[in-house]
Amino acid sequence: MLLNIPGVLNAEQIRIVRSRLEGAGDAWVDGRATAGYSGAPLKRNQQLAEHSPIARELGDAVLAALERHPLFISAVLPNQVYPPLFNRYEAGMTFGNHVDGAVRLLPNGVKLRTDVSATLFLSAPEGYDGGELVIEDTYGAHAVKLQAGDLVVYPATSVHRVTPVTRGVRIASFFWVQSLVRSDAQRALLFDMDNAIQRLNATEADETARRDLVGCYHNLLRLWSEP
């Protein structure tokens, strides 16, 4: 499921995050530091050093915003979220076609299965040319370039790339999620059902039918979820 989640960060939060990133100085390092063996030759960007104090500070701010965003929770059903990372693309920088690694090691040593990939855009789209996130699925290639503060989530199994930036600077946060529900198809069905329940609640439809539908949702989640 490819989904745009708007308004994860508001304008003031974006201003604060951008200000901190613009003053990061030597905390920006070669982005290949976190690329795997196959991805490193394709990756040309800068990345905020993963364990730097500013990366942890801003990552915590992004996580706090995600925890308060109902659409993110409904769509992703997060079990564990990898601490958000931050990257920067100047003119000429790009990241070729790749698939994200299946497992990431959390700072506490716990392994996280990457079910969902996510990119939070921090630059206004008119501030740079190029830099589209292109995600491929069975319906073709989808170019994504969102407003600052908006998030895109998509299956981590997807082939994707960042096209070359030709003007300006593209700044984003990116991370992975281990979902309670491993299957993308099952997550999509639960998301559609949750949306239907919310619409029925808004119209005050038959209370017994709504209760039964909520029960079906939770029973499916119970059946499909993993600890």
Same domain, 98 and 172: yes
Same domain, 109 and 203: no
Same domain, 94 and 196: no
Same domain, 124 and 218: no
Structural domains in the chain (count): 2
pLDDT of residue 5: 98
Amino acid 124 reads: A
**How many CB atoms neighbour CB 1 within 10 A?**
16
Measured CA to CA, the distance from residue 76 to residue 98 in angstroms comes to 22
Same domain, 213 and 157: no
Structure-token pair, residue 141: 């290639």
Residue 194 belongs to domain with CATH number = 4.10.860.20
pLDDT of residue 210: 92
User: CB–CB of 80/112 below 8 Å?
Assistant: yes
> Using one digit for the tens of pLDDT, what is the confidence trace for 135-173?
999 999 999 999 999 999 999 999 999 999 999 999 999
Model confidence at 36, pLDDT cuts 50, 70, 90, reads low
Q: Domain range for residue 175?
A: 3-179
Mean pLDDT across 87-102: 96
Same domain, 189 and 77: no
pLDDT of residue 31: 85
- Is 80 exceeded by the pLDDT of residue 22? yes
Average of per-residue pLDDT values in the chain: 95
Mean pLDDT across 26-49: 83
pLDDT of residue 94: 97
Q: What pTM value is reported for the model?
A: 0.94
Same domain, 121 and 207: no
Which of 222, 191, 188 minimizes the C-alpha distance to 71?
191
HEC string of 31-44 equals: HHHHCCCCCHHHEE
Same domain, 192 and 109: no
Mean pLDDT across 195-203: 94
- Is 90 exceeded by the pLDDT of residue 122? yes
Exposure class string for 198-218: b at 16+ Cβ within 10 A, else e: eebeeeeeeeeebeebeeebe
